[in-house]
Structure 1
Amino acid sequence: MHAWKYRLTAAAAVVAAAAGVFAAGPAAQAARGGDEGNGGWEPIGGRTVDLQVLALNDLHGALEPPTGSNGEVIHEHEDGTTETITAGGVEYLATGLREARQGQERSVTVAAGDLVGATPLLSGLFHDEPTVEALNALEMDVAGVGNHEFDEGWEELVRLQEGGCHPEDGCYAEGREFTGAGFPYLAANVVHEDTGEPVLAPYSVQRLNGIRVGFIGVTLEGTADIVTQEGIEGLEFLDEVETINRYTAELREQGVNAVIALVHEGGYPASEAYNADCDADGGGLSGPITRIAAETDAGVDALVTGHTHQPYVCTVPDPSGRDRLVTSAASNGRLFTELNMEYDRLRRDIVRTSVEGTNRVVDREQERAPDLTELIGYWNELAAPVANAPIGWITEDIAGRGAGSPEFPLGDLIADAQLAHAREIDQETDLALMNPGGVRADLTYAASGEEGDGVVTYGEGFTVQPFSNTVNLLDLSGEQLLAVLREQVSGANEASPKILQPSEGLAYTLDLTRSGADRIVADSVTVGGEPLDPAATYRVAVNSFLAGGGDGFATLAEGGDPVVGNDDMAVLADYLTANSTAEAPLAPPAADRITVVG
């Protein structure tokens, strides 16, 4: 249980970091015990003690059980067959964490970013205060920031840390003021450009019944490229490895040798099963985290990671050649990672060879935690008038990114909705493009509440599109449009392509047997059924995030004659209402606008 409440301002946090006091306050120090000296003697009670670390990442405010593919994990059996298990929901997550802590004298719960942001309506409608309150109830001890912690800007992140009513919307109930996070948010590599000081605490030293463990939190260096620019004005995102190494050395100077990094950057395992042996048969891990893990100071004992929403427990050699665990617990609270290890009290360090990790399923067969059920019920009652309003009807599930293909039905549906809205503003609009990362969930046919099967509520739509972007119109030459399509698979997106979801009116071939920009077959691109004309001008609709060059689409930021339209969620709701009824529900688009080869 928490014996302390973190209440440092961002400025005070930086000062405290220099003094090495990012730990529990005096009350917790008394509860958890003091430090052991090493002095060459054998500590009473044995040289090593057990330490448990429970880890989350990419919760994204999924308080209620997530639906569709966002609420499933794949289990691999010993014979190689697999089964799909429904998972997630903080009521079950609380139960799982509490059971895992039983019998543990030294347990700490941590997270690697994106706990808030891109959240369902239940949390997003209230600026993610419900999620922070749920994390407090989960007994979160320390969390690193991710890119989505900056969705509403860094000053709002500081408010979530410190508490207080929202500056515009105020408090949501009379006599009930938001108290903030009961744990420190860490942002070691997020600094003010003018001072170079971190916007929040860079690290936290947790005192656990006589031992000290340091946690350093960083987000991916590329955060500035994937968030709205106005929210991070004046901030700089530093290299992850250099930052972790700097603060590892600082902790070492304070006598804290046990260090775990919370890194909001991730990788891709060979198997999608949460319990697959990552290191078996040469499977291993790929993606950006592998470089970070390989170059991070050998004094860091494990890396808890996130961002890619993948489940893995893998080893990556550190700079000294010793294996080091790198973990991720998928997303949406479907899993949590349990790390067990020994702590050497003489060396004041974690015994590296003892570190073991397992991803635990947050299955829905276990009992719900009553306090979390009560918390969700409270916020649901406040949200009900907005969340339960029907906005459309569908014939079956409309798959988002879980469809497993570069183009997916829900992406096309959203692009069509934005094209329809854009044509209300300018009837000459030719096409719309939607970023795949902006589609946060599936639209599911089965009722999530009392609305009935096939009914899409505003709350379900908000879960799909929670960012409050606007639909923007801009002019692109044919040459620029081709450059945008090529940016999907080249430059910043070459290693991990971001295939824009096309509206009706755009078609082309994606040849996966080629490399780089050549994967877009230039002479296959058609607009309105006609071959792309490099010299022509096309009117294109995109959301405001893409219009600013987000997700590596720099050419979109060069578009001419910009016009700002309506909120993208309102656009989706209007489209569903206009194109579906209970008697004539909407069927999923065919997702056949991109021809994939290879």
Structure 2
Amino acid sequence: MQDGLLPAQDRAHLIASAQKSPVGTQLAVKLIAFNDFHGNLEAAGRNPGVARLATVIDDLRAENPLHAVVSAGDLIGASPLLSALFHDEPTIEAMNRIGLDFNAVGNHEFDDGREELLRMQRGGNHPTDPNTGLGLADDLKDGRFAGADFAFLAANVVDTASGQTLFPAFQIREFLGQKVAFIGMTLEGTPTIVSPSGVAGLAFKDEADTANALIGALRAQGVHAVVVLIHEGGVTTGGANSCEGVSGPIVDIVGRLHGEVDLVVSGHTHRAYNCLLANRDGRPVRVTSAGSFGGMVTDIDLTLDTRSRDVIAVSADNRAIPNDDTVAQSPALTPLLANYTALADGPRKRVIGKITATLTRASTAAGESALGDVIADAQLAATDDAGLGGAQIAFMNPGGIRADLPYSAPGKTDGDVTYGEAFTVQPFGNSLVTLTLTGAQVHALLEQQFTGCTVGYPADAPPAGQPFNRILQVSGGFSYAWQEKGTPCDNVDPASIRLNGAPLDPAGAYRVTVNSFMADGGDQLYVLRAGTERLGGAQDLDALEAYFTANPAGVAPGPQDRIQLAP
């Protein structure tokens, strides 16, 4: 395979010459890629909505009859209410209408566990919720949710009991007799960022090793053109079509890939980039990502040599999709949107409280946000009268806070908070868990915000993931100071940990509230698994609504003074 940054005129010439004769020496194939859609069906803010995404995909498809539409994961999960209220069935139905071909599983596809993910592929109504199977007749099968017409791919997700992959490792698509393989994978570290119970019995294998191990089988089937769809990525310092300052796990993964891999479509980081990264042979491989939420697609052209059956050129262009009338909304999608909008409008427009100003996720240098403070306070208020003396401290993981709460927005009175807005902030449906930790375990929990502190890790814990700070949001009355030193379990000053002004006693017992994701060891906060005297509570969103009800004059932004950077 060869690759390079092709000038526009050379790219056009290659495509034109390849299309002149389907049985000539070259063949042009178009791929249309996106990633991290997260159920963003409606146009909102900078998000163009699925109906405009469909129009752009149709326009690109029209440029070449030889094409495939692919996604690099997190198609569903952490979705806004219009999709999540119906267990993401609307997003699957929308993607069926768009004509998606392949989706590599992402970590958020596992938010509700393997069985629910399998239902997304196979169909059938949700086993416990009647609010499913409400799509239009064209989207149903025997009156039930029909499942995905496209294929989920999961080459590196293996059922430990059977030794089989959860979904097919790859699929092969023929274009006028020329075979192209699509390998789909998620990040190896998925078990460290989803609820462990949701991936129980599944093993997540090394991404590069998994792809490389498939090359022999693909060659045996006469396949020499290989595309990897992977839900893992990187970050850059440049624009959507640049690769300046690229870093992150994708660099190492590509650097270990077999030379037969011709293209890598990536995701997970919600960043847009268009890179050439060296593989294990030092040869450049095109690596792309289209940001998130359907705001961009990657227009990719593969040129195949029909004699060698290999890819001889790859070019790509990240195209932003504006949320305005310059892009029409596809008539194939608007009836689906209208159907679910009508079903969802009642609950999502319901006003649940008031705020005095926008509550944002923007954090201080120490990692504390105004909205994080409010959510932690709401969870403490919901459990401070629970059994065994009630909760004294609440912690909230920042990854569970998915949006700001706006003071002003179309269709509502300034300061009102609607159920739909609150759901967008906390879409996971976690329940609250109050448990007992010692002061020493609370210290260990704070240290586990920084990868590498394995105090309290169970024997079956997966390997620690890439270092990243996930600063927990804390309730009022609790405070501490931290400074990352690069040394495991040595980033939080024990003397700074205080509850209502008093130092935490390492041997003392404290009642702590967290959500069920955290209580299960999510985000590698495994010390929480050791918490005793567990007591289940309300859902997180119900706790937030109750907090608004208890403060009818309006909830102000949190003070952001509970977490400090140590001098």
Query: TM range, normalised to the smaller chain?
Result: 0.7 to 0.9
How is 1:216-227 mapped onto 2 (pairs within 5 angstroms)?
A: 216-227=183-194
**1:589 matches 2:554:** no
**1:113 matches 2:73:** yes
**1:361 matches 2:320:** yes
* Corresponding residue for residue 150 of structure 2: 183
Deviations 1:531-588 (A, max 9, x none): 23222222111001111111011111111211111111111111122223xxx33222
Per the alignment, in what secondary structure is the counterpart of residue 374 of structure 1? helix
Pairwise CA distance, 1:314: 2.1
The match for 2:408 among 427, 432, 446 is 446
The answer to whether the 8 A contact 2:363-2:370 is kept is no
The answer to whether the 8 A contact 1:402-1:442 is kept is no
Q: Which moved more, 1:523-532 or 1:321-330?
A: 523-532
* Corresponding residue for residue 215 of structure 2: 248
Deviations 1:459-495 (A, max 9, x none): 2111111111111111111111111111111323662
Deviations 1:21-48 (A, max 9, x none): xxxxxxxxxxxxxxxxxxxxxx875322
The match for 1:274 among 222, 240, 246 is 240
* Corresponding residue for residue 419 of structure 2: 458
Deviations 1:243-276 (A, max 9, x none): 21122321121011111111112222234x434x
The answer to whether the 8 A contact 1:435-1:546 is kept is yes
* Corresponding residue for residue 146 of structure 1: 106
Distance in 2, matches of 1:441 and 1:201, equals 34
Per the alignment, in what secondary structure is the counterpart of residue 183 of structure 2? strand
Letter matched to residue 504 of structure 1: G
* Corresponding residue for residue 532 of structure 2: 560
Pairwise CA distance, 1:403: 8.2
**1:481 matches 2:446:** no
Pairwise CA distance, 1:517: 3.9
Distance in 1, matches of 2:465 and 2:215, equals 31
The answer to whether the 8 A contact 1:512-1:597 is kept is no
Q: TM-score, normalised by structure 2?
A: 0.88
Per the alignment, in what secondary structure is the counterpart of residue 54 of structure 1? strand
Relative to structure 1, the CA distance from residue 453 to residue 248 in structure 2 (aligned partners, 3 Å threshold; closer, same or farther) is farther
Distance in 1, matches of 2:280 and 2:510, equals 51
Distance in 2, matches of 1:265 and 1:494, equals 12
* Corresponding residue for residue 167 of structure 1: 127
How is 1:203-352 mapped onto 2 (pairs within 5 angstroms)?
A: 203-271=170-238, 273-275=239-241, 277-279=242-244, 283-284=245-246, 286-351=247-312
Relative to structure 1, the CA distance from residue 55 to residue 252 in structure 2 (aligned partners, 3 Å threshold; closer, same or farther) is same
Per the alignment, in what secondary structure is the counterpart of residue 301 of structure 1? strand
Per the alignment, in what secondary structure is the counterpart of residue 467 of structure 2? coil
**1:59 matches 2:37:** yes
Relative to structure 1, the CA distance from residue 404 to residue 339 in structure 2 (aligned partners, 3 Å threshold; closer, same or farther) is farther
* Corresponding residue for residue 334 of structure 2: 373
Distance in 2, matches of 1:402 and 1:374, equals 40
Distance in 2, matches of 1:188 and 1:457, equals 41
**1:47 matches 2:25:** yes
Pairwise CA distance, 1:186: 0.6
Distance in 1, matches of 2:467 and 2:168, equals 32
Distance in 1, matches of 2:364 and 2:174, equals 44
Unaligned 5+ runs, structure 2: 1-20, 138-142, 453-463
**1:88 matches 2:66:** no
Per the alignment, in what secondary structure is the counterpart of residue 566 of structure 1? strand
Distance in 1, matches of 2:175 and 2:23, equals 16
* Corresponding residue for residue 5 of structure 2: none
Deviations 1:64-94 (A, max 9, x none): 1345xxxxxxxxxxxxxxxxxx233112211
Letter matched to residue 436 of structure 1: P
Distance in 2, matches of 1:410 and 1:332, equals 22
Relative to structure 1, the CA distance from residue 199 to residue 494 in structure 2 (aligned partners, 3 Å threshold; closer, same or farther) is closer
Relative to structure 1, the CA distance from residue 103 to residue 572 in structure 2 (aligned partners, 3 Å threshold; closer, same or farther) is same
Question: Once superposed, what is the RMSD of the aligned Cα atoms?
Answer: 2.3
Per the alignment, in what secondary structure is the counterpart of residue 425 of structure 1? coil
* Corresponding residue for residue 15 of structure 1: none
Pairwise CA distance, 1:227: 2.3
Letter matched to residue 547 of structure 2: Y
The match for 2:383 among 418, 422, 425 is 422
Pairwise CA distance, 1:143: 0.7
Relative to structure 1, the CA distance from residue 360 to residue 517 in structure 2 (aligned partners, 3 Å threshold; closer, same or farther) is farther
Distance in 2, matches of 1:577 and 1:443, equals 16
Per the alignment, in what secondary structure is the counterpart of residue 536 of structure 2? strand
Distance in 2, matches of 1:396 and 1:111, equals 37
Relative to structure 1, the CA distance from residue 531 to residue 402 in structure 2 (aligned partners, 3 Å threshold; closer, same or farther) is closer
Percent identical: 43
**1:522 matches 2:494:** yes
Per the alignment, in what secondary structure is the counterpart of residue 146 of structure 2? coil
Aligned length: 527
Distance in 1, matches of 2:230 and 2:160, equals 21
The answer to whether the 8 A contact 2:195-2:518 is kept is no
Relative to structure 1, the CA distance from residue 314 to residue 510 in structure 2 (aligned partners, 3 Å threshold; closer, same or farther) is farther
Distance in 1, matches of 2:565 and 2:64, equals 51
Distance in 2, matches of 1:447 and 1:180, equals 34
The answer to whether the 8 A contact 1:146-1:307 is kept is yes
Letter matched to residue 590 of structure 1: P
Relative to structure 1, the CA distance from residue 559 to residue 270 in structure 2 (aligned partners, 3 Å threshold; closer, same or farther) is same
Distance in 1, matches of 2:43 and 2:234, equals 25
Relative to structure 1, the CA distance from residue 517 to residue 494 in structure 2 (aligned partners, 3 Å threshold; closer, same or farther) is farther
Distance in 2, matches of 1:337 and 1:310, equals 12
Pairwise CA distance, 1:57: 1.2
Pairwise CA distance, 1:196: 0.4
Distance in 2, matches of 1:108 and 1:214, equals 11
